[in-house]
Structure 1
């Protein structure tokens, strides 16, 4: 018997990196996994790598109509939701003097607004005992130059995780936040100009006590733990998977 046999899961931003690795892991553990991504081609490609245990719904988490379409697709399957991994988001470098209203609004709309309204739209579908996992970041607990807007948005996610855990405990729904350190993903590499990706990865690895950056599969294992009954006495918590970056 696999850990999520018969369960239904949702992974937003599930077409690459941590999201795709998590969707693959949840499906391997028996869950039927819904994934989202912004383009149909990338969604279809991701579903093909996951296999029969996946359904892809193209859409943008910042668009209410797209979230309604996603909720309708899950509702039509008729089994509700047991796991939500609110993973979609991102950010770009901008120092305080470079910050613009547009960049700040976009960052918070994606990382905070997208998460808030994803979870809100899924609330009627959540089964008793469901697990909601939010995507945090170690940037929220340290001063990372040029990453202020992103870090602040992830600090908001940490706060929301506490509040939602308190609000949903009566339905026996657990809400926890997984906090990755630097992980080798297209999103991280995309922060560096072409030809400088390895330099960015090496610089990030130098900040980690374990001397390396993480892999998406390692974060997926932590999400699986929070999604499964193995973490049944955890809610409102942060689980750091950061190679010791914020611990040592």
Structure 2
């Protein structure tokens, strides 16, 4: 495995054990690579048993949309790593619909399970160990596109807004134990999943259609998000918790 020095110039995560959900492609795979490059031992997950992850990472197939799936993943993490010091919730997604009212009930539930409750359940299983060790870092991957509301994607946006609020609350609860919780909110990023979603949205005739370039002049790259995650789980961010960090090229300014 090729080693790439991270921003601090050292393998700053040596000895750390990391779990990354949705780590087989796009942003998730970039996060796995950056954590490996920084010296962490990494277990990556994806729903399909045929998924591949960056060289050097361990892999387990996991469907975190259910409590049973989260429990199985937590057990696998303890078996493979002996515990988790860094937990990155990257898994997520949903498909757009012609309108908010057209989103079926089962897709509302799936969006909540995948984009919100998967994090709640896995944190409930793994954060207590961090609290006992009085050390740990949790990062939730949300989306910068939670505003303005977009009817075709309301189920996804609502789940991510809930995730961000939950993340702040969990940060307050765990801070006295030295466990930090933050959120990264990516903007439009060049990934296969993102491109497929945008094409589907445009095909409905109700999506954003042609969109302008973000103020910084290009779409995001998976590594842009991964660098932010690496910073937040490192000791360089030891005074940061309860934050939502937008990584979007200035496309979605928040007040």
Name the TM-score, length of structure 1 as normaliser: 0.89
Of stretches 79-88 and 14-23 in structure 1, the one that deviates more from structure 2 is: 79-88
Match of 1:130 in 2: 136
Alignment partners' CA distance in 2, 1:97 and 1:67:
30
Deviations along 1:97-136, one digit per CA (max 9) or x if unpaired, are 3122122111111111111112112123324220100011
More helix as a share of residues:
1
Corresponding residue to 1:115 among 116, 119, 133 = 119
Of stretches 124-133 and 182-191 in structure 1, the one that deviates more from structure 2 is: 124-133
Match of 2:55 in 1: 50
Of stretches 216-225 and 206-215 in structure 1, the one that deviates more from structure 2 is: 206-215
Aligned length: 238
Alignment partners' CA distance in 1, 2:58 and 2:214:
36
Counting only pairs closer than 5 Å after superposition, residues 69-84 of structure 1 correspond to structure 2 as: 69-77=72-80, 79-84=82-87
Change over 3 Å in CA distance of 1:97–1:65 after alignment to 2 = closer
Match of 1:179 in 2: 185
Change over 3 Å in CA distance of 1:116–1:211 after alignment to 2 = same
Identify unmatched segments of 5+ residues in structure 2.
1-9
In the alignment, is the contact (CA less than 8 A) between 1:139 and 1:154 conserved in 2?
no
Alignment partners' CA distance in 2, 1:97 and 1:66:
30
Match of 1:7 in 2: 16
SS in structure 2 of the partner of residue 138 of structure 1: coil
Alignment partners' CA distance in 1, 2:227 and 2:210:
25
In the alignment, is the contact (CA less than 8 A) between 2:20 and 2:32 conserved in 1?
yes
In the alignment, is the contact (CA less than 8 A) between 1:62 and 1:109 conserved in 2?
yes
Match of 2:107 in 1: 103
Alignment partners' CA distance in 2, 1:78 and 1:58:
15
Name the TM-score, length of structure 2 as normaliser: 0.86
Corresponding residue to 2:228 among 217, 222, 233 = 222
Alignment partners' CA distance in 2, 1:174 and 1:115:
15
Q: CA RMSD of the aligned region, Å?
A: 2.2
Alignment partners' CA distance in 2, 1:202 and 1:243:
19
In the alignment, is the contact (CA less than 8 A) between 2:144 and 2:247 conserved in 1?
no
SS in structure 1 of the partner of residue 152 of structure 2: coil
SS in structure 2 of the partner of residue 190 of structure 1: helix
